[in-house]
């Protein structure tokens, strides 16, 4: 089962050589990787012209495992509330990453809310745009993509704990990569003010605090659901530190400070 690229040529180059050149320009922007194994890396998913440099810098800073559980928001509303792509590979111009089918099966068995589903992923961009980065960093990377639209915080927290139990049972490390943009379509000044609250909450490693902060302050962080789940799992997996690699808004690329989207890169270990 091959998941074909849907936003190649729009969010990122559709030509393989041009894509490699752009990825190489965006990766390695932070010097040394963190020493500890990365449990969670949160990266943005806009077009590369807007957020690719921050995505590359964050993934370069992370000390990722060869196996990645990818957790992203579901913008389309299609599919099941927690949709897991369980087999095959995800293609992009010039390559592909294989799905770790063994881990996918364990997660489907061990996490009550996860369901095998491809519909949620077919036209969703939030995980697709990250796949070329992961391949460029390590072509042997294997992934399990999950699209999340379930808004219930208790189900998210429970799913995170169950994910942790599955990952602890393995004889290999697994990193989670969460896809999320921050505030949408407000002024640059207001986005920075609101997003600082969400980032501060995420850095506490408290998933309930993040969820409550985003909801209470009307922060349109599209990946709050997968990040809440990931932080719940991270706590069970012994996460101790979180680093903000960077924050920016679309205004840096567009020059429009009246209507922006915010982007943050976070590494948890």
What pLDDT score was predicted for residue 31? 66
Q: Which CATH class is domain 2-268?
A: alpha beta
pLDDT in tens, 99-147: 999 999 999 999 999 999 999 999 999 999 999 999 999 999 999 999 9
168-222: pLDDT as tens digits: 999 999 999 999 999 999 999 999 999 999 999 999 999 999 999 999 999 999 9
118, 194 contact by CB (below 8 A): no
Average pLDDT over residues 141-154: 98
3-state SS track over the chain: CEECCCCECCCECCCHHHHHHHHHHHCCCCCCCCCCCCCEEEECCCCHHHHHHHHHHHHHHCCCCCEEEEEEECCCCCCCCEEECCCCEEEECCEEEEECHHHHHHHHHHCCCCEECCCCCCCCCCCHHHHHHHHHHCCCCEEEEEEECCCCHHHHHHHHHHHHHHHHCCCCCCEEEEECCCCEEECHHHHHHHHHHHHHHHHCCCHHHHHHHHHHCCCCCCCHHHHHHHHHHHHHCCCCCEEEEEEEECHHHHCCCCCEEEEEEEEEC
Predicted TM-score of the model (pTM): 0.98
Q: Where are the domains of the chain?
A: 2-268
What does the pLDDT read at residue 39?
Answer: 98
| Residue 30 clears pLDDT 70, i.e. is over it | no
């Amino acid at each position: 089962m091959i998941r074909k690229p849907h936003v190649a040529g729009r969010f990122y180059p559709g030509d393989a050589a041009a894509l490699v050149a752009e990825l190489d320009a965006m990766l390695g922007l932070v010097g040394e990787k963190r020493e500890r194994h990365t449990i969670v890396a949160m990266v943005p998913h806009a077009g590369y012209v807007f957020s690719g440099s921050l995505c590359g810098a964050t993934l370069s800073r992370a000390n990722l495992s060869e196996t990645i559980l990818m957790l992203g928001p579901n913008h389309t509303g299609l599919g099941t509330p927690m949709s897991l792509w369980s087999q095959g590979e995800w293609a992009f111009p010039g390559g592909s990453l294989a799905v770790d089918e063994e881990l996918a099966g364990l997660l489907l068995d061990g996490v009550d809310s996860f369901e095998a589903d491809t519909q949620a992923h077919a036209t969703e961009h939030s995980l697709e745009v990250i796949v070329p980065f992961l391949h460029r960093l390590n072509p042997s990377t294997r992934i399990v993509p999950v699209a999340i639209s379930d808004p219930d915080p208790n189900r998210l927290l429970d799913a995170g704990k169950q994910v942790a139990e599955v990952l602890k049972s393995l004889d290999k490390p697994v990193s989670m990569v969460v896809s999320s943009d921050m505030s949408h379509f407000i002024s640059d000044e207001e986005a920075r003010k609101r997003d600082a609250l969400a980032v501060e909450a995420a850095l506490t490693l408290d998933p309930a605090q993040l969820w409550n902060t985003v909801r209470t302050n009307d922060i349109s962080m599209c990946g709050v659901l997968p990040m809440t789940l990931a932080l719940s799992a991270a706590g069970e997996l012994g996460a101790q530190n979180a680093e903000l690699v960077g924050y920016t808004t679309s205004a840096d690329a567009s020059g429009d400070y009246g209507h922006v989207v915010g982007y943050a890169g976070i590494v948890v270990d």
